Amino acid sequence: MNKIRFITVFLVLFVFAASGLFAQRNAQANAQALTFGSRTNGTLRRNSEVWYSLTPNQNSFIVIEVSSDDFDTFVEVYDSGNVLIGEDDDGGEGTNSKFEVYGERGNTYLIKVRSYDREEGGSFRILASLKAVPQALELRFGNPRSVNLGRGDEHWYSVRANEAGLIIVETQGDDVNTYLEAFDSSYRYLDSNDDGGVGTNARITLVVEPGQTYFLKLRGYNDSARGPYRIVSNFEGIPEDPGNTERARAISINIGDSRSSFFHTNDEERWFRFTVPRGGATVVIYTTSGLDTVMTLYDNNRAIAEDDDSGEHLNALISQRLSAGSSYFVRVTTYGGGIGHFSISVENN
């Protein structure tokens, strides 16, 4: 009886899912074509969605704006293969949506309009416009550019490496709260950052392939942000992995020394081991990097101390009185993920 009931429930769910997929496919097939530059009025029923299509006649950025006085708009953009490219909730004014995507000439893109709260509905307006692909300034490694950001400006930059590795792009200055977005050579979105650098400066680390061009878009965090800033890019090669990603393979470090290390993935751990000399000591352990590091100190049995941001620029620092002749382990990770170099130092205070 239970088996029959399970099969019945499964079939009901399958039919429900299939009917939902069919309804979406049917809506896409009947999507209304949008004309660039012309505002179109629409009506959204509760628990529903409205589909549109558009086909640019040139390689350019497509800007889609959906506004309503009746509900919190939400827009999704798909390619012709029904693959989601991106989405936006409140990128426009108030609770209205605005999304920008690179479009290739002759390709058709599908736009889905819905409400953030499915129970809401009402009238809305949608506008699609084309924006020319910007001229990007090349960033040469180690050579900062000094630029002035005007209100509402967007500045575009390109970076390119001859070998596989990491490209780190960051802004410098105290006058502008900068925001960076990264794209591949086809302007597909890769990453974004607001305050990953010092203060309100932005910092992005890209894992890059040789000979590929990557693009960075810089703007102020909000439309009122303006003023001078510097932007600089640097390249780091990826070193060989020493394998200290677990406690059993911890690398030894002497008190008074530093060791360089590297995170190859966002969720990686790096382990180190040191021994306190005779007499005991207050030991200070800290990291130095452009990453947001997290550090945990262990004795042979348990964690005895942990820190996130007590060091400089989001680095970790632990100061602890430790027993003479005992060995201790240190695990270093990153908060929220991060790829790149860091160094760890162990000092006798």
Task: Give the model confidence (pLDDT) of 293-330 as tens digits.
Answer: 999 999 988 999 999 999 988 899 999 999 888 999 99
Question: What is the arithmetic mean of pLDDT over 17-37?
Answer: 66
Q: Which CATH number fits domain 247-348: 3.30.70.380, 1.10.101.10, 1.10.630.10, 2.60.120.380?
A: 2.60.120.380
Residue 57 pLDDT > 70: yes
Q: What is the residue whose two structure tokens read 């889609």?
A: 64
**pTM of the entire predicted model:** 0.70
Fold entry, domain 137-236: Jelly Rolls (2.60.120)
CA pair distance 236, 342, nearest whole angstrom? 12
Other CB atoms within a 10 A radius of the CB of residue 193 amount to 19
Task: Give the model confidence (pLDDT) of 235-275 as tens digits.
Answer: 988 888 899 999 999 999 999 999 999 998 888 999 999 99
Question: What is the arithmetic mean of pLDDT over 270-288?
Answer: 90
pLDDT of residue 5: 62
Contact at 8 Å (CB) between 285 and 256? Answer: no
CA pair distance 280, 46, nearest whole angstrom? 69
Q: CATH second-level architecture of 31-131?
A: Sandwich (2.60)
**Terminal CA-CA length for the chain:** 72
Give the model's confidence band at 9: pLDDT under 50 very low, under 70 low, under 90 confident, else very high.
Answer: low
Bigger pLDDT: 186 or 23? 186
Q: Which two tokens stand for residue 136?
A: 């990007």
Alpha helices (H) along the chain: 2-29
pLDDT of residue 349: 78
Query: So where are the chain's domains?
Result: 31-131, 137-236, 247-348
Residue 19 pLDDT > 50: no
Contact at 8 Å (CB) between 36 and 56? Answer: yes
CA pair distance 61, 186, nearest whole angstrom? 11
| 313: Cα separation from own chain's centroid | 19
Residue 199 pLDDT > 90: no
Question: What is the arithmetic mean of pLDDT over 221-231?
Answer: 87
Residue 234 pLDDT > 90: yes
Distances (CA, A) of 335 to 170, 295, 315, 332, 340: 18, 10, 10, 10, 13
Residue 47 pLDDT > 90: yes
Other CB atoms within a 10 A radius of the CB of residue 183 amount to 20
31-131 with 247-348: one CATH topology? yes
User: Phi, psi at residue 2, to the nearest 5°?
Assistant: -60, -40
